[in-house]
Structure 1
Amino acid sequence: MSTADPGDAALRRFLADPAHLTLDLRTATARAAKALGLRHAVVYLVDIQQRRLVPQTAVAPTLPVDDSLAGWAYRTQSLRVEESATGGGITAWFPLLDGAERLGVLAVDETSLTASSLSRGRALASLLAMVITSRRLYEDSFVRHTRTERMRLPAELLRALLPPRTIGDGNVVSTAVLEPAYEIGGDAFDHALTDTTLHVAVLDAMGHDLASGLTSTVALAACRNARRTGLNLPELVRSVDEALSSWLPDKFCTAVVAQLDLVTGVLRWVNCGHPAPILIRDERLLIDAMERDPDPPMGLPSLLTSQARRTHELALKPGDRVLMYTDGVVEARTREAKLLGLERFAYYVIRATAGGELAPESLRRLIHSILDTQEGKLRDDATLLMFEWRPPPKAGPAHPRPLRPG
Structure 2
Amino acid sequence: MTRAPSGGTEAPPGRTARRAGWDGRCQAAGHRSRRGGLSTGGDEVSTSDSDDAGLRSFLADPAHLTLDLRTATARCVKALGLRHAVVYLVDLQQRHLVPQTAVAPSVPVDGSPAGWAYRTQSLRVEESGTGGGITAWFPLLDGAERLGVLALCETALTASSLTRGRALASLLAMVITSKRLYEDSFVRRTRTERMTLPAEMLRALLPPRTIGNGNVVSTAVLEPAYEIGGDAFDHALTETTLHVAVLDAMGHDLASGLTTTVSLAACRNARRTGADLPELVRSVDEALSSWLPDKFCTSVIAQLDLVTGVLRWANCGHPAPILIRDQRLVIDAMERDADPPMGMPSLLSPHARRTHEISLEPGDRVLMYTDGVVEARTREAKLLGLERFADYVIRATAGGELAPESLRRLIHSILAMQEGRLRDDATLLMFEWRPPS
Q: TM-score, normalised by structure 2?
A: 0.88
Aligned partner of 1:109 in structure 2 is 153
Match of 1:181 among 206, 219, 225: 225
SS at match of 2:63: helix
Is the Cα–Cα contact under 8 Å of residues 84 and 109 in structure 1 kept in the other structure? no
Amino acid at match of 1:295: D
Shift of 1:58: 5.0
Quick one: distance in 2 between partners of 1:59 and 1:305? 60
Aligned partner of 1:29 in structure 2 is 73
Shift of 1:89: 1.7
The unaligned stretches of length 5 or more in structure 2 are 1-46
Quick one: distance in 2 between partners of 1:260 and 1:81? 38
Quick one: distance in 1 between partners of 2:63 and 2:267? 40
Aligned partner of 1:403 in structure 2 is none
Is the Cα–Cα contact under 8 Å of residues 222 and 239 in structure 1 kept in the other structure? yes
CA RMSD, Structure 1 to Structure 2 (Å): 1.2
Shift of 1:87: 2.2
Aligned partner of 2:25 in structure 1 is none
Residue correspondence of structure 1 range 210-225 to structure 2 within 5 A: 210-225=254-269
Shift of 1:4: 6.7
Shift of 1:102: 0.1
Match status 1:247 vs 2:283 = no
Residue correspondence of structure 1 range 30-179 to structure 2 within 5 A: 30-57=74-101, 59-179=103-223
SS at match of 1:288: coil
Quick one: distance in 2 between partners of 1:87 and 1:60? 17
| Identity value in percent | 88
Quick one: distance in 2 between partners of 1:88 and 1:310? 64
Deviates more, 1:56-65 or 1:210-219: 56-65
Shift of 1:86: 4.9
Once the two structures are superposed, residues 69-93 of structure 1 have per-residue CA deviations (whole angstroms, 9 ceiling, x without a partner) of 0000000000000113552420000
Deviates more, 1:89-98 or 1:11-20: 11-20
Is the Cα–Cα contact under 8 Å of residues 247 and 300 in structure 2 kept in the other structure? yes
Q: TM-score, normalised by structure 1?
A: 0.95
Quick one: distance in 2 between partners of 1:315 and 1:126? 36
Match status 1:19 vs 2:48 = no
Matched residue pairs, number? 392
Once the two structures are superposed, residues 26-49 of structure 1 have per-residue CA deviations (whole angstroms, 9 ceiling, x without a partner) of 111111111111100000000000
Is the Cα–Cα contact under 8 Å of residues 69 and 101 in structure 2 kept in the other structure? no
Aligned partner of 1:191 in structure 2 is 235
Quick one: distance in 2 between partners of 1:111 and 1:144? 33
Aligned partner of 1:389 in structure 2 is 433
- After superposing on structure 2, the runs of 4+ consecutive aligned residues of structure 1 that deviate more than 2 Å are 3-6, 84-88
The unaligned stretches of length 5 or more in structure 1 are 394-406
Quick one: distance in 2 between partners of 1:81 and 1:46? 19
Quick one: distance in 2 between partners of 1:120 and 1:263? 35
Quick one: distance in 2 between partners of 1:254 and 1:358? 29
Shift of 1:342: 0.6
Deviates more, 1:190-199 or 1:78-87: 78-87
Quick one: distance in 1 between partners of 2:48 and 2:241? 42
